[in-house]
């Protein structure tokens, strides 16, 4: 397995959502209605607080500068506190102000001679940026949940900096083959079991053991492939040999790390040891193309590539532009996730699906990590790093902080 990365992630592109507010603002400015973007005669002149931009005190009365939802900035108005019925936005404004002051360790309000109390421009600017970031992250979260096809919810959180949704990333639920690569996603045969846990099933036909126990936990050692029941099998969706194909069952959070590793992923619920957590998906490319892209990524200090080297080394998964939540999972030299090769409908051993299982109990709020140098066989060896002069690359420093840290990602 070659390194994959979240520490300098790319990530999001939904142009229609980005332009919606602009279109609404234009409609209201020109007094036009447009049902497709939610502007009707009934709400054309509606005013709803979107966020608060600034604060001042005039003659002992508190005022907030209001940005109205769906209206251009030119229509922002100062409103007395007593007229505002938005306690959550007021609390967010206060929190953002205090966060800024705690970061710079200074920033007292200016008190002019006319006894008007106002915020420093830098504080107001920061508060507006945080408000816009919060809206953008919420839209990104909504978009991710619209696109996912699994049970677990996806949340987004950034309490660290002003970074918004990454650009140029497209959320997908399964492999996306590059031009010229064909993925056959239809099995040629399936089992006729009435109870796949006890009868000779798909794993036995492939010459391996059933991967799961009765608690849906993986019981085979790393390096052993998983053969799940497929679309040709007569067993139903509750079959004990259909785990990975059901998708992520846990609610996860993409969050901004505080240790300089960019985005990361944490679980919001407890995950039992040896449980399936998520698949790793992306664009399937040839190894030759992976070598070309890898030099570009390494020179930028980022890593994205995952070699599909279960039996051969013909293909690689690139999660730089296309991927799912696993795109944001960071590396650790002491990980809590383990890689397994999975075969379901596509039985081509050159193109296994990549599944991540927990190596131990993972508590709610804990970051999810896996070893970028861990191969599907479970081995970690120098073979996964090419040191030949013709392919010498810039080494990426590891920031996992583990006691067993090897120092570099590649």
CA angle 290–367–133, rounded 5-degree value: 85
86 is in an annotated binding site: no
331 is in an annotated binding site: yes
Q: Name the 3-class secondary structure at 132.
A: helix
16 is in an annotated binding site: no
* Residue 180, number of CB atoms within 10 A of its CB: 8
27 is in an annotated binding site: no
* Separation between Cα atoms, residue 353 and residue 340, nearest integer Å: 8
253 is in an annotated binding site: no
304 is in an annotated binding site: yes
Contact present, 400 and 330 (Cβ < 8 Å): yes
Catalytic position from the list 280, 297, 310, 322:
280
Length of the chain: 410
* Separation between Cα atoms, residue 185 and residue 208, nearest integer Å: 21
Structure tokens at 122: 């830098």
34 is in an annotated binding site: no
* Separation between Cα atoms, residue 343 and residue 349, nearest integer Å: 8
Catalytic position from the list 55, 171, 227, 372:
372
Structure tokens at 289: 């193309």
* Separation between Cα atoms, residue 307 and residue 384, nearest integer Å: 9
261 is in an annotated binding site: yes
Residue 170 among the catalytic residues: no
Structure tokens at 227: 């053969």
Q: Name the 3-class secondary structure at 16.
A: helix
Would you list the DSSP string of 262-281? Answer: -EEEEESS-B-TTBEEEEE-
400 is in an annotated binding site: yes
Burial zone of 369 (CB within 10 Å; 0-12 exposed, 13-18 middle, 19+ buried): buried
Strands (E), 61-124: 61-68, 77-80, 117-118
C-alpha distances (whole Å) from 49 to each of 66, 89, 94, 116, 409 are: 6, 9, 16, 24, 46
Burial zone of 324 (CB within 10 Å; 0-12 exposed, 13-18 middle, 19+ buried): buried
* Separation between Cα atoms, residue 313 and residue 351, nearest integer Å: 10
* Residue 367, number of CB atoms within 10 A of its CB: 18
β 353-358/276-280 pair status: antiparallel
263 is in an annotated binding site: yes
Residue 322 among the catalytic residues: no
233 is in an annotated binding site: yes
Contact present, 4 and 306 (Cβ < 8 Å): yes
Residues with active-site annotation: 280, 372
| Bind-site residues | 191, 193, 196, 201-202, 229, 233, 235, 239, 261-263, 304, 330-331, 333, 398, 400, 405
| Bind-site residues for S-adenosyl-L-methionine | 261-263, 304, 330-331
């Amino acid at each position: 397995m070659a390194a994959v990365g979240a520490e300098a992630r790319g990530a999001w592109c939904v142009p229609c959502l980005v332009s919606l507010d602009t279109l609404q603002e234009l409609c209201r400015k020109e007094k036009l209605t447009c049902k497709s973007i939610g502007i009707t005669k009934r709400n054309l002149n509606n005013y709803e607080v979107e966020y608060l931009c600034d604060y001042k005190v005039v003659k002992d009365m508190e005022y907030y500068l209001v940005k109205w939802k769906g209206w251009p900035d030119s229509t922002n108005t100062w409103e007395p506190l007593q007229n505002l019925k938005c306690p959550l936005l007021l609390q967010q404004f206060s929190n953002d102000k205090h966060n800024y002051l705690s970061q710079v360790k200074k920033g007292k309000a200016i008190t002019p001679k006319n006894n008007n109390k106002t915020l420093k421009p830098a504080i107001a600017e920061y508060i507006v940026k945080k408000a816009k970031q919060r809206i953008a992250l919420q839209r990104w979260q909504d978009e991710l949940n619209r696109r996912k096809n699994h049970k677990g919810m996806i949340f987004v959180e950034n309490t660290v900096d002003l970074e918004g949704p990454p650009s140029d990333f497209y959320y997908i639920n399964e492999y996306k083959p590059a031009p010229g690569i064909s993925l056959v996603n239809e099995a040629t045969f399936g089992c006729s079991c009435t109870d796949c846990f006890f009868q000779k099933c798909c794993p036995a036909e492939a010459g391996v053991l059933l991967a799961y126990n009765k608690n849906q936990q993986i019981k085979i050692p790393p390096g052993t492939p998983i053969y799940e029941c497929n679309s040709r099998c007569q067993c139903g969706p509750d079959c004990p040999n259909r785990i990975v194909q059901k998708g992520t069952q846990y609610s996860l959070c993409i969050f901004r790390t505080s240790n300089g590793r960019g985005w990361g992923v944490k679980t919001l619920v407890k995950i039992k040891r040896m449980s399936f957590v998520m698949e790793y998906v992306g664009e399937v490319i040839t190894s030759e193309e992976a070598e070309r892209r890898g030099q570009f990524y390494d020179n930028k200090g980022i890593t994205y590539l995952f070699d599909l080297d279960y039996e051969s080394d013909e293909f690689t998964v690139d999660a730089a532009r296309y991927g799912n939540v696993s795109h944001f999972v960071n590396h650790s030299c002491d990980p809590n996730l383990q890689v397994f090769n999975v075969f379901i409908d596509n039985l081509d051993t050159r193109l296994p699906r990549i599944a991540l299982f927990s190596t131990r109990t993972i508590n709610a709020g804990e970051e999810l990590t896996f070893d970028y140098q861990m191969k599907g066989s479970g081995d970690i060896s120098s073979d996964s790093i090419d040191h030949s002069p013709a392919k010498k690359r810039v080494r990426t420093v590891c920031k996992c902080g583990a006691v067993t840290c090897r120092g570099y990602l590649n």
